[in-house]
């Protein structure tokens, strides 16, 4: 891009301005102050890329091939970076789900209150539905009393941006409304990132029928 155009961009926010330095090869101190608008730095990238594309390489050839190579490299890297982010999220969600199970066994309503979102909904293997307030009340008054949750298996976490779905299977021993239950169940849990923190928004358990004898 001709210098006559490039020199009229604010060096901080990228907007057009008449403030420019006298020579493109001059010292940094020659730059005048920015226009003060302060737009995000990303605003400079389109102009910067256009300017770089116009620069000659040491051999006098355009740098478009170099830019294409960089673009191709970024295209290859971004999916990998996304998978790495998803992997970290999967671990965070799996850890939170473990804390959820431990809190249920301990009857730790303080931890449950922290893990569950305000609009949390749970459906147990009997088909009963409870919101957060009712669930916490059930633990406090003994309506629900877990003895153990073990044999965790078939864990899978799928991430969808700020939401994640975890499915798993485990063995649970619990007393519900005075009745003891000993079941193998499949559980579907939904988590959402709220205010930078992962929280449980839904949980449903389904009893696995015993094979016919």
User: What pLDDT score was predicted for residue 74?
Assistant: 58
| Percent of all residues in the chain with a pLDDT value above 90, rounded to a whole number | 56
Residue 199, number of CB atoms within 10 A of its CB: 17
Q: Report how far residue 76's alpha carbon sits from residue 50's, in angstroms, rounded to the nearest whole number.
A: 22
pLDDT band at 86 (very low <50, low <70, confident <90, very high): confident
Please, which residues have CB within 8 angstroms of residue 38's CB and are 6 or more apart in sequence? 12, 13
For the cut 50, the answer to whether the pLDDT of residue 70 exceeds it is yes
- Domain chopping of the chain, boundaries: 3-79, 84-207
Q: Where are the beta strands (DSSP E) in the chain?
A: 116-123, 129-131, 144-160, 163-176, 179-194, 197-207
User: What pLDDT score was predicted for residue 201?
Assistant: 98
Q: Report how far residue 126's alpha carbon sits from residue 2's, in angstroms, rounded to the nearest whole number.
A: 73
Read off the pLDDT of residues 115-143 as tens digits, 9 standing for 90 and up. Answer: 999 999 999 999 999 999 999 999 999 99
> Is 203:187 a contact under the CB 8 Å cutoff?
yes
Residue bearing the bigger pLDDT, 136 or 210: 136
> Is 136:112 a contact under the CB 8 Å cutoff?
yes
Pairing relation of β-strands 197-207 and 179-194? antiparallel
Q: Report how far residue 186's alpha carbon sits from residue 205's, in angstroms, rounded to the nearest whole number.
A: 6
- Look at phi and psi of residue 68 and say left if phi exceeds 0, alpha if psi is from -120 to 50, else beta: alpha
For the cut 90, the answer to whether the pLDDT of residue 7 exceeds it is no
Q: Report how far residue 165's alpha carbon sits from residue 192's, in angstroms, rounded to the nearest whole number.
A: 9
User: What pLDDT score was predicted for residue 25?
Assistant: 45
Query: So what's the architecture of 84-207 in CATH?
Result: Roll (3.10)
Tell the burial category of 27 from Cβ atoms under 10 Å away from its Cβ (0-12, 13-18, 19+).
exposed
Q: Report how far residue 6's alpha carbon sits from residue 77's, in angstroms, rounded to the nearest whole number.
A: 30
Q: What's the DSSP call for residue 30?
A: G
Q: Report how far residue 96's alpha carbon sits from residue 51's, in angstroms, rounded to the nearest whole number.
A: 48
């Amino acid at each position: 891009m001709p210098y006559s155009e490039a020199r009229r961009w604010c060096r901080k926010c990228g907007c057009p301005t008449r403030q420019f330095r006298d020579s493109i090869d001059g010292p940094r101190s020659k730059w005048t102050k920015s226009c003060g608008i302060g737009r995000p730095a990303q605003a400079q990238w389109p102009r910067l890329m256009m300017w770089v594309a116009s620069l000659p390489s040491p051999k006098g050839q355009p740098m478009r091939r170099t830019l294409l190579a960089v673009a191709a490299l970024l295209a290859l890297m971004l999916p990998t970076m996304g998978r790495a982010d998803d992997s970290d999220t999967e671990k965070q969600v799996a850890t939170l789900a473990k804390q959820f199970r431990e809190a249920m066994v301990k009857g730790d309503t303080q931890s449950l209150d922290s893990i569950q979102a305000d609009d949390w909904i749970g459906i147990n293997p009997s088909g009963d539905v409870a919101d957060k307030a009712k669930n916490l009340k059930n633990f406090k008054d003994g309506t629900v009393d877990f003895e153990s949750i073990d044999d965790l298996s078939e864990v899978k976490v799928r991430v969808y941006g700020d939401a994640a779905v975890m499915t798993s299977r485990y063995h649970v021993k619990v007393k519900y409304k005075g009745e003891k239950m000993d079941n193998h169940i499949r559980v579907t849990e939904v988590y959402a990132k709220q205010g930078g923190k992962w929280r449980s928004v839904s949980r449903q358990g389904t009893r696995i029928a015993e094979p016919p004898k």
